[in-house]
Amino acid sequence: MSAVLKKRKITHEPSGGLAILAKKKKGGKKVKSVVVDGEKRKKGRSEVGKVKEKKAKKVGLDVEEEEEAGENQRLESKEGEQPAVGGVGVEGVKEVQEVQEAKKEKSERKMVKKAEEDEKGGKGEEGKEGERDDEKSHSKGGKEDQDQESDPLQTPPEFPQPQKTFADLGIMPSLIEACTNLGYKAPTPIQAESIPLALSGRDLIALAETGSGKTAAFALPILQSLWDSPRPLFACILAPTRELAFQIAEAFDALGGGIGVKTAVIVGGMDMVTQSMALGKRPHIIVATPGRLLDHLENTKGFSLRTLKYLVMDEADKLLDLDFGPSIDKILKVIPKDRRTYLFSATMTSKVEKLQRASLTNPLRVKVSSSKYQTVKTLLQYYILCPHKHKDTYLVYFVNEFAGQSIIIFTRTVNETQRLSFLLRLLGFSAVPLHGQLSQSARLGALTKFKSGARNILVATDVAARGLDIPHVDCILNYDLAQDSKTYIHRVGRTARAGRAGKSISLSTQYDVELLMRIEAALGKKLPEFPTEKETVLLFSERVEETQREAVKQMKEMAEKGNRRGGGRSGGMGGKGRGKRGRGDDDREEE
Amino acid sequence: MALDDDEGGETEEDDTVEGEEEEEIQEDNDDDAEEGIHDPFETHFANPPKLYLQAVEAAKRNEWSTIKTIQPAGNVGKISISVPAIEDPRLTSHTQYVGKKVLKSILELKLKPRLRTPECGLIHPLQLALAPIIFSYTDLYISTRTHKNAPQLRHLYALHALNHIYKTRDRVLKNNAKLAKIAAIASDDKNSITEPPDLRDQGFTRPKILIILPTRNAALEVIRTIADLAQPEQQENRKRLNEQFGLPAGAEDPLINSNKPEDFKALFAGNHDDGFRIGIKFTRKTIKYFSSFYNSDIILASPLGLKLAIGASEDEAAFANEGKARKKNKNQKQDYDFLSSIEVCIVDHADAMRMQNWEHLEFCMKHINLIPRSLHDTDFSRVREWCLDSHSSYFRQTILLSSFQAPEFNSFQSAYMRNALAGRISTRPSTFPGQPLKHLSCLGGITQIFHRFSSQTPLQDPDARFDFFVKTILPTYILSPRAPSKGILIFIPNFFDFLRVRNHFAHTIATPISFGSISEHTSLSSIARARTHFANGRYRILLYSGRAHHYRRYVIKGTREVWFYGVPEELGAYEEVGAFLAIGDEGKERVSRKVASVFSKWEGLAVERVVGSERVGVMVQGKGDVFEFL
């Protein structure tokens, strides 16, 4: 254990990790207080309907019991309808969507119900119908309230009232203590919903935005169950990125440290032997990326997951989106069928459904948001239309405008990432690149620098967009527009986390307008244009153009160096990956 | 001195043909009855007590508490017992107990029953006194090895090594059987998920014992001792062993009839090549020599041979290969994983290795018990906890056998004897009689003078010594008109000092003087010329290096006065070189003969051996700089 822990601590300051968690939690509370005003009324009403309902189910959050067959049908209908929601006026769309959603849910529910009817009486169904109607009406009401506010985008999650405590959820005292020490005062909605269900021993599919306390939502039930029957190799958490894996492990260490939980992080880019040693010590919890875990399952003698009790997939859609599919299939083959499985994700794809069929038994679905594409209220989203020629100038203008704030700039390619960080650095901004061709340590290093504030501009490809909890991001600049709306949501989800304010500005050139419109359609609203004066912006252009040439020169130098040495660090950018892939790949789209 | 060409095959020999475990698991219940809680194997390796973590921490901080006492039995002499400085008194009391204990019955050793044969008998008092220490896995540093007691010591550690291997292997095989049984049950009954028991009985790699020896002949003797004890039904590659480690068939050892000293004959007998390594693998009925390292239980090697097996580190390789073809780098990949799980390391005849190249040994020691760099098919579910925690080096037993105490060995002790659980014990003779050159007393009138110079630190010692020698000794004694006109022999223990003095004589001195020099690198013809000229007086002065004496043991005629540039660590060298005065022109003239030495306070150990324990204190610490014995 110590070996792994040490390793982790070298790259991630442990206190930093804790602080992040603590902040997240505190923020979670804040969200509630922010939202409360517009919501209390309907809450009160809905509460009445809910009480009648079955205990496990809560109003405002869809907690549905699903049979597998019902699930499939439902999925098809949903997927079919989604694209139909086009780029019309904001409010109209919203209305339509709401109604459609409600209707759809109702009809689905009926289908499900039919399947269930033999077992349960019609009584339950009636109750549910009633609840549904209730919900529909007050979500409309809520809508009007929101329209008065600056960002009427989302149907905000509704929180159970009065606020629950961890004890109410059935968490045992020693874990509550750990939560308190970390500054978790009360459960976030996703925790409040999923923990009791998890403790009751069901499989879960949980959909929640990033930054909503998902990690603790699965960590707490697992730790509690581990406490009841301690045994090695108890749970395995799969994550799509190495950074996320470290973050999850930190959370487990922080929550489970008090009860003596041993965790091991198994990710690529690290020494196999050291990891084998960590596995040899039979940790309780393994946090892994699928590829390396499979590598160990196949090559490390004496390591198996035959006794595994819990499998969690965090960012489950991502795990399937990427090339992880085959690895996951293989992993699923060697772990016992008799286990609990939790899928956690911000978005749901059809592949998750497939996986669900493959590996979940009788799962419950927990959602804390009804809209598929949803951003938080505290996020101000803008776009700016600029000529392609002056893209860099506009970027520099914004960076200059927001100087001193922490900014993440998203680009489409690795090459752009590096060029922009050179450009910004030459102009005197402290920028650091983060992309998939950096070595593992360079990635962690870049992230640490950004988190600690040593650099306040992170230039990243979409690898950084998912799952990372970086507190205090004030501004997101989409240098290249996101290729699809889901990516967009993930990108802007890096800021305005946990109740804090934040803004995002998307640079749209004449070529990207269509893309922008598609995103707006998916969001269900038009983005306002960021107010700028063209003259002011173009004041920068001369200086920027000059620097562009210098940046390109530096790029070339670095590429040559990379070719010559086949790797090694240059200009603060670890280039280990380059040796392997060659620089022709640089223009390749990341992901 | 270099490796033979045939050496290549030694480690590459592959055992892949052999199955998983070649032996049948015999249900001999021989161990169960014996392996009680008092079995040191059990308490040290298999199930170390909980306090080991505390002890390891103390050892990491290099905090030891030491007590000193005397073990009269077997002439062991003074012993000093060190254990990690922790609160718990259990460690201390146990190590003290084994330090003072004398073996009464072989049964106390918890030997494997298979080894309790008449041949294993330990009878010599020295063996009986040391056995409790060695068998309790305590680190041991002996400075009383002689060519006479060497076979007894060898017998003792061979028995210990064999016992350790047997215990380890039997445990592994037994657990294999257990797991196979469980697996069989599980496959019969698919419903029951039985959790496999946590059986931890091994390290990362198989080799458990490393024996470092100076020559091939010494290795051959150890192997023969082990084979005698083990009495295997079959010895694989035995012929190859005799070919490579013995003398060629029919050849007679030229040393047998020579009149060289006994210790010289013992060291250089047989095949005295110093570049070798060999793995030995044990199965229940056979011993296999030249097994590949990763399939071996015991590795025997010389420091040089082992260093070559490990290979140069990347940095060194890059340095050495600068400008050379790149592809060579590939072949020179370092591999020290086979040393990762050494549990007992024995360094026999350390004083001979000091004369070879001590740095090679240090290099090897630095690569023991490191975390392996590749997986090597290790079953990580059975690797012991403390191995996974990278604490192996604090569990390893290290045994250093030498003929005297020297600064190198003492620093070896503090650097590599880090046994946290059983502590370490070092021994030295109670007193040194110190009657220098007593055997020459028949000559009468030999004056022995010791000149002390001051040097602040051991590091400054060579410079201060050279300064003192050139500025004080040379003009006042050696080059003065009162000095003998011929026959002045200057013995210089260290080769670097030797070069310095020789260069001074050759280039710096204003008035040229006639001198010859003999070092281990001098060609035979030059040596012969130097000796002749020195004997007949054409060379007034002869410079003689310590290593030249160690490897050749010349008797140099025509010596009238001996100067020791430094006091040699080997008492034998002092006496043998001093004895040059007794030969040659006997009877012709009875001039006063003189043996003079230059020393500093850092040479206390060597001076003590020459002048005796009683006098050393005054000479090293006391007032006055010149001490004369008549």
What residue in A sits closest to B179 (Cα-Cα)?
A302
Band (pLDDT 50/70/90 cuts) for residue A65 is very low
Q: Can you give B396-430 as a three-state secondary structure string?
A: CEEEEECCCCCHHHHHHHHHHCCCCCCCEEEEECC
Task: Look at residue B568 and tell me whether its pLDDT is greater than 90.
Answer: yes
Per DSSP, the three-state class of B207 is coil
Task: Look at residue A92 and tell me whether its pLDDT is greater than 50.
Answer: no
Task: Look at residue B479 and tell me whether its pLDDT is greater than 60.
Answer: yes
Q: Average pLDDT over chain A, rounded to whole?
A: 68
The verdict on residue B362 lying in a domain is yes
Pair (A197, A321) in one structural domain? yes
Pair (A432, A551) in one structural domain? yes
Interface check B182 vs A, CB under 8 A: no
Interface check B146 vs A, CB under 8 A: no
Q: Which of A1, A7, A273 to mutate against chain B (most B CBs within 10 Å)?
A: A273
Band (pLDDT 50/70/90 cuts) for residue B294 is very high
CB contact under 8 A, A336 and B388: no
Q: Establish, for the pair of chains A and B, how many residue pairs have beta carbons separated by less than 8 Å.
A: 54
Pair (A520, A458) in one structural domain? yes
Band (pLDDT 50/70/90 cuts) for residue B591 is low
Those residues with Cβ within 8 angstroms of residue B454's Cβ, 6 or more apart along the chain or in another chain: B464, B600, B601
Interface check A279 vs B, CB under 8 A: yes
Is the ipTM value over 0.90, yes or no?
Answer: no
Task: Look at residue A355 and tell me whether its pLDDT is greater than 70.
Answer: no
Determine contact, residues B332/B149, Cβ cutoff 8 Å: no
The verdict on residue B420 lying in a domain is yes
Highest mean pLDDT, choosing among A111-120, A503-512, B132-141: B132-141
Task: Measure the CA–CA gap between A514 and A492, rounded to whole angstroms.
Answer: 19
Task: Look at residue B407 and tell me whether its pLDDT is greater than 60.
Answer: yes
Pair (A387, A325) in one structural domain? no
Q: Quick one: residue A43, left, alpha or beta (phi over 0 = left, psi -120 to 50 = alpha)?
A: alpha
The pLDDT of residue B587: 52
Q: Which residues of A touch B371 (CB under 8 A)?
A: 273-274, 277
Q: Which residues of A touch B379 (CB under 8 A)?
A: 301-302
Q: How many domains does chain B have?
A: 2
Q: What is the mean pLDDT of residues A12-31?
A: 37
Q: Residue B189: how many CB atoms within 10 A of its CB?
A: 10
Per DSSP, the three-state class of B475 is helix
Determine contact, residues A460/A432, Cβ cutoff 8 Å: no
The pLDDT of residue B216: 95
The pLDDT of residue A464: 58
pLDDT digits over B484-499, tens only? 888 899 999 999 999 9
Pair (A255, A316) in one structural domain? yes
Partner residue facing B388 (CB), from A281, A301, A307: A281
Band (pLDDT 50/70/90 cuts) for residue A80 is very low
Pair (B541, B599) in one structural domain? yes
Pair (A155, A266) in one structural domain? yes
Q: Which residues of B touch A338 (CB under 8 A)?
A: 193
Among A335, A367, A399, residue at a domain's last position: A367
Task: Look at residue B612 and tell me whether its pLDDT is greater than 80.
Answer: yes
Percentage of chain B modeled with pLDDT above 90: 48
The verdict on residue A95 lying in a domain is no
Interface check B381 vs A, CB under 8 A: yes
Of the listed ranges A354-358, B8-12, B241-245, B548-552, the one predicted with least confidence: B8-12
Q: What is the mean pLDDT of residues A475-504?
A: 75
Highest mean pLDDT, choosing among A38-47, A497-506, B266-275: B266-275
Task: Look at residue B38 and tell me whether its pLDDT is greater than 60.
Answer: yes
pLDDT digits over A269-284, tens only? 888 999 999 999 889 9
Task: Give the residue with greater pLDDT, A257 vs A472.
Answer: A257
Band (pLDDT 50/70/90 cuts) for residue B439 is low
The pLDDT of residue B101: 84
CB contact under 8 A, B380 and A279: yes
pLDDT digits over B536-556, tens only? 889 999 999 999 999 999 999
Task: Give the residue with greater pLDDT, A417 vs A320.
Answer: A417
Task: Look at residue A50 and tell me whether its pLDDT is greater than 50.
Answer: no
Q: Which residues of B touch A3 (CB under 8 A)?
A: 388-390
Q: Residue A173: how many CB atoms within 10 A of its CB?
A: 9
Pair (B80, B169) in one structural domain? yes
Task: Give the H/E segment covering residue B453.
Answer: none
Task: Look at residue B602 and tell me whether its pLDDT is greater than 50.
Answer: yes
CB contact under 8 A, B383 and A277: yes
| Gap from A566 CA to chain B (nearest CA, Å) | 15
Band (pLDDT 50/70/90 cuts) for residue B307 is very high
Degrees, nearest 5: CA angle A288-A293-A299:
155
Pair (A522, A433) in one structural domain? yes
| Gap from B210 CA to chain A (nearest CA, Å) | 23
Task: Measure the CA–CA gap between B436 and B567, rounded to whole angstroms.
Answer: 12
Band (pLDDT 50/70/90 cuts) for residue B445 is low
Interface check A3 vs B, CB under 8 A: yes
In A126-278, the DSSP E strands lie at 204-207, 235-238, 263-266
Q: What is the mean pLDDT of residues B277-293?
A: 93
Report the CATH number at residue A227. 3.40.50.300
Q: How many domains does chain A have?
A: 2
Pair (B447, B542) in one structural domain? yes
Give Cα separations from A139 to A56, A155, A372, B169 (angstroms).
Answer: 22, 8, 16, 72
Pair (A509, A413) in one structural domain? yes
Task: Look at residue B570 and tell me whether its pLDDT is greater than 70.
Answer: yes
Q: Angle, to 10 degrees, between the axis of helix A325-334 and the axis of helix A350-359?
A: 10
The pLDDT of residue B192: 57
Report the CATH number at residue B565. 3.40.50.300
Q: What is the mean pLDDT of residues B118-123?
A: 77
The verdict on residue B123 lying in a domain is yes
Band (pLDDT 50/70/90 cuts) for residue B193 is low
Q: What is the mean pLDDT of residues B516-545?
A: 93
Determine contact, residues B142/B400, Cβ cutoff 8 Å: yes
Degrees, nearest 5: CA angle B53-B55-B61:
105
Interface check B340 vs A, CB under 8 A: no
DSSP letter (8 states) at residue A56: T
Task: Measure the CA–CA gap between A24 and A183, rounded to whole angstroms.
Answer: 9
Interface check B187 vs A, CB under 8 A: no
Pair (A410, A335) in one structural domain? no
| Gap from A209 CA to chain B (nearest CA, Å) | 38
CB contact under 8 A, B380 and A302: yes
Q: Tokens representing A238?
A: 């799969």
Band (pLDDT 50/70/90 cuts) for residue A567 is very low
Task: Look at residue B377 and tell me whether its pLDDT is greater than 90.
Answer: no
Pair (B445, B591) in one structural domain? yes
Q: Tokens representing A227?
A: 């406490």
Interface check B194 vs A, CB under 8 A: no
Q: Average pLDDT over chain B, rounded to whole?
A: 84
The verdict on residue A447 lying in a domain is yes
pLDDT digits over B99-110, tens only? 888 888 777 888
Pair (B477, B421) in one structural domain? no
Task: Give the residue with greater pLDDT, B256 vs A163.
Answer: B256
The verdict on residue B33 lying in a domain is no
Task: Look at residue A164 and tell me whether its pLDDT is greater than 50.
Answer: yes
The verdict on residue A63 lying in a domain is no
CB contact under 8 A, B375 and A307: no
Partner residue facing B381 (CB), from A278, A302, A338: A302
Helices (H), B61-197: 89-100, 125-135, 150-188
Task: Look at residue B97 and tell me whether its pLDDT is greater than 60.
Answer: yes
| Gap from B194 CA to chain A (nearest CA, Å) | 9
| Gap from A5 CA to chain B (nearest CA, Å) | 12
Pair (B418, B463) in one structural domain? no
Percentage of chain A modeled with pLDDT above 90: 9
Task: Look at residue A117 and tell me whether its pLDDT is greater than 60.
Answer: no
DSSP letter (8 states) at residue B379: B
Pair (B371, B457) in one structural domain? no
- Domain of residue B162 covers 55-187+204-215+294-312+334-428
